[in-house]
Amino acid sequence: MTTAHPAILGGPPAFPDGLPFVRPPAPPLERVVARLAPSYERGVLTNGPLVREFEQQAAEWLGVPHAVAVSNCTAGLMLACQALRPAGPVVLPSFTFSASAHALAWNGLDVRFAECDPASFQLDLTDAAARLDGAGGLLATHIFGAPAPAGQAEALALGAGIPLIFDAAHAFGARLAGRPVGGFGDAEIFSLSPTKVVVAGEGGVVATRHDDLARHVRLGRDYGNPGDYNTEFAGLNARMSELHAAIALESLDALGAHLDQREAIANRYRDGLGHIAGVDPQAVPTADRSTWKDFTVRVDAERAGIERDLLVQGLRAEGVDTRCYFFPPVHQHDAYRRQRVDLPVTDRTAASVISLPIWRDLPLSSVDAVVDLIGGLTGRGDEVRAVSSASTG
């Protein structure tokens, strides 16, 4: 279809009932209940056999000897950081979710924000390298489910003699040049929250090749208690319940097909947007596989003839739900403004990106419609701005 008259300019909305940004890929309830029943009937409600089974299967998927299930990704980040004990500030991207920085702050560590690449949105390792003097660690994020340049990050951390953590919240199932994300750096931490590709309701996984780090996280998720209540260190209550493990196992069973569906949706978006100037999808190397947890584009206002925020307004009028991740970037959050760091590339990137609807069963016809709506709004920034100004004036 072609939208000759956008809804924000008086036309009828393309999705009068709304097009949601995400629909959690919850597995069938009857399968979850059947899997949970033996543990439930035995009175084992947390950190039981289903958690062990999930950890084993997750380790196989991720290609690591250790996959430790935790209550959420943030707790996993906190415990992994605690185990690694960075001896100084940790360099990390500002273009990431706030939990990346929060986990460091909870460990009493200073954060040192670095720039992102404006095309891939990943941590700019050249800029990060310039900020490593006196640093105690490096943290990178697999942004939107696309693998970060992990090999280069490993070389950088090794050369500096510092630990390397990956916030892999979006990336369960991603591959870097054929290698599963999960075994890079000292630890990679995944999220299993409802918007992710593998869901547990709430949950996380700490993946590592290091025996000592895995042991620390296993103890740390249970207060640091080795079993005799004589805690070895100040841990957390970060255990995964059997219910969450049952959901995660069912979700993991469907992961291969789910990733294929998301890739087909992402390819449809990319093919369509390739004909629209100034709306550029996240750059992902062809040798890599993203989970496409989010499908994110950068809007070049000069080439597109419309600013990001006006495009968001135009799509909202059509019933299309979107997100502006990660705006504001973390260095602009009130919690971190004391850093007083100048990151112009990150500021421009965060102010120009928009994530479009993507979920497992999103019809390709809806993808085509969203692309067409974007095409109908580009070049009409002045008209949209006039309507927007009139409505708020």
H helices of the chain, in order, are: 29-42, 49-62, 73-84, 98-106, 125-129, 150-160, 211-220, 242-253, 255-273, 301-304, 308-317, 344-350, 364-377, 381-392
Q: Which CATH class is domain 7-25+255-322+357-392?
A: alpha beta
Token pair for residue 92?
């990390």
Predicted TM-score (pTM) of this structure? 0.96
One pLDDT digit (tens) per residue for the chain, 393 residues: 455 689 999 999 999 999 999 999 999 999 999 999 999 999 999 999 999 999 999 999 999 999 999 999 999 999 999 999 999 999 999 999 999 999 999 999 999 999 999 999 999 999 999 999 999 999 999 999 999 999 999 999 999 999 999 999 999 999 999 999 999 999 999 999 999 999 999 999 999 999 999 999 999 999 999 999 999 999 999 999 999 999 999 999 999 999 999 999 999 999 999 999 999 999 999 999 999 999 999 999 999 999 999 999 999 999 999 999 999 999 999 999 887 899 999 999 999 999 999 999 999 999 999 999 999 999 999 999 999 877 765
Q: How far apart, in Å, do the first and last CA atoms of the chain sit?
A: 33
CATH topology of domain 29-253: Aspartate Aminotransferase; domain 2 (3.40.640)
Give residue limits of the domains in the chain.
7-25+255-322+357-392, 29-253
